[in-house]
Amino acid sequence: MAETTTAKTTKPRAAKAKPAAAKKPAAKKPAAKKTAAKKPAAKKAAPKRAAKTEQAKQIEVITKILTELARTNFEETVEAARAVVKSGNLRKAIELQSVLVRSTLKRNVAATREINKIAGESVRHLVAPISDRLSDALSSLRK
Residue 46 has pLDDT above 60, yes or no: no
Q: Yes or no: say if 66 and 111 are a contact pair by the CB < 8 Å rule.
A: yes
Cβ burial of 65 (10 Å; 0-12, 13-18, 19+) is middle
Residue 26 has pLDDT above 70, yes or no: no
Q: Yes or no: say if 58 and 118 are a contact pair by the CB < 8 Å rule.
A: yes
Residue 108 has pLDDT above 90, yes or no: yes
pLDDT tier at 122, thresholds 50, 70, 90: confident
pLDDT the model gives residue 29? 58
Domain-wise residue ranges, the chain: 50-142
Lowest mean pLDDT among 1-10, 51-60, 72-81: 1-10
- Residue 127 and residue 135: Cα distance in Å, rounded? 12
How many Å separate Cα 112 from the centre of its chain?
Answer: 19
Residue among 56, 63, 53 at smallest CA distance from 111: 63
pLDDT tier at 139, thresholds 50, 70, 90: confident
In percent, how much of the chain has pLDDT > 90?
40
Please state the rounded mean pLDDT for residues 63-81: 95
pLDDT the model gives residue 113? 96
Cβ burial of 73 (10 Å; 0-12, 13-18, 19+) is middle
Cβ burial of 118 (10 Å; 0-12, 13-18, 19+) is middle
Q: Which residue has the higher pLDDT, 121 or 16?
A: 121
